[in-house]
Structure 1
Amino acid sequence: MAVPKFKMSRARTHSRRSQWKANNADLVQITVRGRTASVPRRLAKAYQRGLLQIED
């Protein structure tokens, strides 16, 4: 694990952390029982197996 050689100031830490941005989940089109919906890729199999229901 990387260890800093010098103490980083609070302002410097906050400015570094403020640059991080989350990405939107990529959506895929799935069709379950004749209904088409856009869902996150990681949940597509759960919808197809019937573990999650598509809501309108």
Structure 2
Amino acid sequence: MYRSSEEGLRRFTLQFLPELIWVYLRHSASRERYRNGCVEALLLGIYNLVRDR
């Protein structure tokens, strides 16, 4: 939805960014670091999309 040309859809997806960062940091600080791959890939993808705009 972030890749959509509609501004409202992009804003909708960005509202979940703080929660995703919190989940990433929480898992990074715990012993379950191996479960962090999906969230890490998602955050990296969002970063690359925002940076390219």
**Higher Cα Rg, which structure:** 1
Q: TM-score, normalised by structure 1?
A: 0.29
Q: TM-score, normalised by structure 2?
A: 0.31
Q: If each structure's helix is expressed as a fraction of its own residues, which one has the higher value?
A: 2
